[in-house]
Amino acid sequence: MKIAITSFSDSLESKMDPRFGRCAFFVIHDTSNDTTEFIKNLAKDASGGSGLMAAKTLANTGAEKVFSGDFGPKASSVLNSVNIEMVQLKDDNKTIKELIELIK
């Protein structure tokens, strides 16, 4: 299964970014082969509609579940329409590496 986590940077030592649409990167981790890739969120600096654009980007990754602190209504609508499960995490003190280990 491919999972996504919003991140402040393209490092496993980064913290989870609680902002879905404005996160800097999406971490895509494939639990079936234990690989991780980082995808830059080009919607981060958009003047509007960042959640919608970010959701469309994430939909193209094959992720089945996404972990973030918050999802806006437009992003939620897109993610629901493509069957990507949204999981809100309030503990943003863990590194991406720690979160991947917890999620596995």
Domains of the chain: 2-103 (3.30.420.130)
| Three-state DSSP class for residue 54 | helix
Q: Order the strands of the 25-30 sheet from edge to edge.
A: 35-40, 25-30, 2-7, 65-68, 85-88
Query: Which value, to the nearest 10 degrees, does the dihedral of the CA atoms of residues 30, 86, 47, 18 take?
Result: -80
CA gap 33, 91 in Å, rounded: 26
Please tell me the predicted confidence (pLDDT) of residue 9: 97
Q: What is the mean pLDDT of each run of 10 residues along the chain (104 residues)?
A: 96 95 96 96 89 93 95 93 94 87 86
CA gap 50, 36 in Å, rounded: 24
pTM listed for this prediction = 0.94
Which residue type, as a one-letter code, is found at position 34? D
Which residue, 14, 16, 13, is CA-closest to 4? 16
| Degrees, nearest 5: CA angle 36-104-51 | 60
